[in-house]
Amino acid sequence: MQKQDKLKDNDIILEIKDLHTYFYNNSKNPVKAVEGINLTLYKKEVLGIVGESGCGKSLTARSILKILPTGAKIAQGSIFFNGEDILTLKQKRLNEIRGKMISMIFQEPSSYLNPVLTVGFQVSETYTAHFPNDKKNALKKTIQIFKEVGIPDPSKRIKNYPHELSGGQKQRVMTAMALINNPDIIIADEPTTSLDVTVQAQIIKLFKDLLKNHSSSIIFITHDLPLVSEIADRIMVMYAGMNVEEAPTKELISKPLHPYTKSLLESIPPITEKWQKLKTIEGQVPDPSEKPAGCPFHPRCIYAEKDCSTKKPYMIEVEKGHYTSCYHYDKI
């Protein structure tokens, strides 16, 4: 997985620059859920986005496809996909990109699958939506992709309705749907959170296998740092709508340069014989509508200094490919 040194600028497939996505619900002041995200995704790469609930990780992903929840709007920024700015594209071109070049896997497969249509139809429809003249092949392709994602007896399963499948199977169907058009980017938004541990392991294995046979890049969004460390090449850590650290997986884990990442790593319970008091991050995750000034993490940070509460941080490249938004990273 050490492709880091090979990464060149012409390998970039997706580039997000200074993305701001706000919620304009009822008050005059928008809730700044995503505030200045920069992200680069290379070809054939797995990028993990890690953060707690409400940190804006899902919203960032949804901004890429412009499928935002009601009230949310992209206020600023640009998203370049193969050189095209998605935010300025016409609806027709956007529909071409959605599902064909960039596809998405969601957390709750049961709520994203239509309960009154067979899973086979739903998957093949994703194909025929982009290749309307190829209806003959759609069924064949569906069966093939079902086989690939490890659904046993695919020719029978395509006739099943979502409720007849288990949670793990449904997530495989979602994966098949995302994969059928061989997209350039797959965005997986917490694909294993609603699954059991043993099924989660199956899905992770599936992702790893798929990486071998497909040329897609994957954005893997999760709150589970250990989980994403198994699959991602690079990890981006988000906190309160901003990215705080970005580095190749190994480096991020062995040498975190942001206090938040460090405390996240430390709060994983170690395997010990006896009870050990766990290291914690004091305080609460800030409400997106009442973010602290300066560095959003400073009220909970043990390294915080005076300037942290006033100066807004920005990403600094400390080592090649390793960015942090902490001014005092040398103290960590």
Partner 1 sequence: MNDIKNTDCLIRTENISKFFEQKTGLFNSKKEIVRAVENINIHILKGETVGLVGESGCGKTTLGRTILRLIDPTNGNIFFDGNNITSISGKELRKLRRNMQIIFQDPYSSLNPRFKVKHIIAEGLYNFKNELKLDNISIDKIVSEILEKTGLSKDASTKYPHQFSGGQRQRIGIGRAIALNPKFIVCDEPLSALDVSIKSQILNLLHELKKEYKLSYLFISHDLKITASISDRIYIMYLGRIIEELPSSQLFKNPFHPYTKALISAVPEIDSDKRRKRILLEGDVPSPVSIPSGCPFHPRCLKAMEICKSKTPKYLKKGDNHFVACWLYDQNSDSRHKTQDSSKS
Contact mark string toward partner 1, 19..58, x via CB under 8 A? ---------------------------------xx-----
Smallest gap from Cβ 289 to partner 1, in A, equals 13
In the bound state with partner 1, the residue whose beta carbon lies nearer, of 132 and 269, is 269
* Residues 295 and 225: beta-carbon distance below 8 Å: no
Phi, psi (rounded to 5 degrees) for 197? -55, -45
Largest CA distance in the chain: 67
Q: Identify the bridge partners of residue 164 per DSSP, sorted by sequence position.
A: none
Cβ-based neighbours of 228, under 8 Å, separated by 6 or more: 48, 50, 220, 222, 235
In the bound state with partner 1, the residue whose beta carbon lies nearer, of 96 and 224, is 224
Tell me the pairing of strands 242-248 and 72-81: unpaired
* Residues 74 and 17: beta-carbon distance below 8 Å: no
**CA dist., res. 283 & res. 258, Å (int):** 17
Indicate which single residue of 67, 93, 117, 226 sits in contact with partner 1 (rule: CB under 8 A). Answer: 226
| Segment lying near partner 1 (by CB under 8 A), choices 57-65, 74-82, 154-162, 258-266 | 258-266
| Segment lying near partner 1 (by CB under 8 A), choices 56-64, 106-114, 179-187, 223-231 | 223-231
**CA dist., res. 39 & res. 7, Å (int):** 14
Burial of 306 (0-12, 13-18, 19+ CB in 10 A): exposed
In the bound state with partner 1, the residue whose beta carbon lies nearer, of 13 and 210, is 210
Site for partner 1 in 264-293 (CB under 8 A): 264-265, 267-282, 284-285, 287
**CA dist., res. 307 & res. 313, Å (int):** 10
Site for partner 1 in 131-190 (CB under 8 A): 166-169
Smallest gap from Cβ 324 to partner 1, in A, equals 18
Indicate which single residue of 75, 214, 229, 303 sits in contact with partner 1 (rule: CB under 8 A). Answer: 229
* Residues 325 and 242: beta-carbon distance below 8 Å: yes
Smallest gap from Cβ 21 to partner 1, in A, equals 21
Q: Which helix (H) or strand (E) holds 318?
A: strand 316-319
* Residues 76 and 18: beta-carbon distance below 8 Å: yes
In the bound state with partner 1, the residue whose beta carbon lies nearer, of 279 and 320, is 279
In the bound state with partner 1, the residue whose beta carbon lies nearer, of 139 and 265, is 265
In the bound state with partner 1, the residue whose beta carbon lies nearer, of 64 and 227, is 227
Q: Which helix (H) or strand (E) holds 14?
A: strand 12-23
Indicate which single residue of 223, 255, 291, 328 sits in contact with partner 1 (rule: CB under 8 A). Answer: 223
Indicate which single residue of 68, 101, 199, 318 sits in contact with partner 1 (rule: CB under 8 A). Answer: 199
**CA dist., res. 292 & res. 78, Å (int):** 26
Smallest gap from Cβ 320 to partner 1, in A, equals 21
Smallest gap from Cβ 55 to partner 1, in A, equals 9
- Residues in contact with partner 1 by the rule CB under 8 A: 52-53, 166-169, 196-202, 204-205, 223-227, 229-230, 250, 253, 263-265, 267-282, 284-285, 287, 300
